[in-house]
Amino acid sequence: MLDRLENVEKRFEEVDEKLCSPGIASDMEQYTKLMKERKQLLPVVEKYREYKEYKKTFEEANELLQSKGLDKDFREMVQEEYENSREALDRCTEELKILLLPKDPNDDKNVIVEIRGGAGGEESALFAGVLFRMYSMYAETKGFKTEILNANETELGGYKEISFMISGEGAYSRFKFESGVHRVQRVPETESQGRIHTSTVTVAVLPEAEEVDIDINPADLQIDTFRSSGAGGQHVNKTESAIRITHLPTGTVVECQDERSQFKNKEKAMKILRSRILEDERRKQSEEIAGQRKTQVGTGDRSERIRTYNYPQGRISDHRIGLTVYRLEAVLNGDLDEIIDALITADTAEKLQMQE
């Protein structure tokens, strides 16, 4: 580990030297690339330098303790410094192990979230709306921007499906564990008998794919236009502004009808299409490498039941890590940090275990 840390520090110093070299400011592409690399290396370098300071203090204290003739008070002071620096060294070592874990290259990307009603009909569509509101409110607390890409509303105000983008640095790192089946247990708004029903909603979280990430041949696309449909409004069903794009090699179909402009709908549909195709390719590669191995926090598969929202008990249970919290209202109002932090911690622990 120490050899790796030395190499990281050396590379950090090289990057700093390049950033100070004449002419780098005029090459914006290279400058941006170096600044991004520096930002990624900085936490590791700072922690490693902190480690080296504690190591120096620990070794000096240890050497003094081996000396003879120290008076009692001074020896006690040195002993205390020895113990403190040893504890700090152990803490730094664990923190460095985490910092050296392979970073998910998608963590800093924007995300496209797709929510679809599952079992439960209208009640499922209504809960899809609840989840959209929850994610939007959580995104706002993090300073992220939310933009609806496509929405298929129901008459009661739910969503058969809704796709939206959450933009901001680190968005994917906060939302990536939300993919899967979300189950809700509650008395439906459409139910007059007061019986508790169970419905499901499917969530897919895709890192936004840039054009440079994936090359799509225009000849592989079938683009159809059709009239928008929705819960009403003057513009609905009057013009063929809605877009349906089919990627023929994979059979991936994306629809977008949220904008009045056909061009804007096409632009949004292409964002979703690129991200879906890239995510499918990434998943296939991961399956080949991991041999279908399921990690502790789940596979991210859309068919995996990950969480239950129980309204009568005010309870939320995440089945992947065995976490249960009795803060349903707060969570549905966007207070997701406790759950997401627990998922990140479990994922980090799993990766550390795999490295041992």
Looking at residue 175, what DSSP letter applies?
H
Contact 265, 223 (CB under 8 A): no
The one-letter amino acid code at 272 reads I
Cα of 49 vs its chain's centroid, Å: 29
Cβ proximity of 206 and 196 under 8 Å = no
Cβ count within 10 A of residue 274: 22
Question: What pLDDT does residue 145 have?
Answer: 94
pLDDT of residue 296: 37
> Do residues 151 and 162 lie in contact, with contact meaning Cβ atoms separated by under 8 Å?
yes
Q: How far is CA 33 from the centre of its chain?
A: 22
The alpha helices in 142-227, defined as continuous H runs, are 171-175
The answer to whether residues 40 and 107 touch, using CB atoms and an 8 Å cutoff, is: no
Contacts of 198 (CB under 8 A, 6+ apart): 119, 120, 183, 184, 185
Tell me which residue has tokens 């191995």. Answer: 293
Please report the pLDDT score of residue 212 as a whole number: 54
In three-state secondary structure terms, 130 is helix
User: How far apart (Å, rounded) are the C-alpha atoms in residues 123 and 186?
Assistant: 9
Measure CA 84 to chain center.
36
Edge-to-edge, what's the strand order for the sheet holding 315-318?
145-153, 159-167, 111-117, 197-207, 180-186, 305-310, 315-318, 323-325
pLDDT tens for each residue of the chain, 356 residues long:
788 898 889 999 998 888 888 888 788 888 888 888 888 899 899 999 999 999 999 999 998 888 887 788 888 898 999 999 999 999 999 889 888 887 878 888 899 999 998 887 888 999 999 999 999 999 999 999 998 988 888 888 889 999 999 999 899 999 999 999 999 998 876 666 678 888 999 999 988 876 556 678 888 888 888 776 654 444 444 456 788 888 888 888 888 876 677 888 888 888 888 888 877 777 765 555 444 334 435 444 556 789 999 999 999 999 999 999 999 999 999 999 999 999 999 988 888 877 66
pLDDT number for residue 100 = 84
Lookup result for tokens 């959209």:
132
């990307």: which residue's tokens? 109
Local structure of residue 260 (DSSP, 8 states): S
Say if residues 261 and 237 touch (Cβ distance below 8 Å). Answer: no
Token pair of 46, please? 């700072």
Q: Could you give the CA distance from residue 164 to residue 171 in angstroms, rounded to a whole number?
A: 13
Task: Report the run of H or E that residue 294 belongs to, with start and end.
Answer: none
DSSP state, residue 25: G
* Alpha-carbon span 324 to 308, nearest angstrom: 9
Cα(229)–Cα(257) distance, rounded to whole angstroms?
A: 8
Treating both helix axes as pointing N-terminal to C-terminal, what angle do 2-19 and 28-65 enclose, rounded to 10 degrees?
140
Residue 257 pLDDT? 79
Confidence (pLDDT) at 293: 38
Buried b (16+ CB within 10 A) or exposed e, 113-123: bbbbbbebebb
| Nearest partner of 266 among 242, 288, 249, judged by Cα | 242
**Is the separation of the CB atoms in 78 and 65 below 8 Å?**
yes
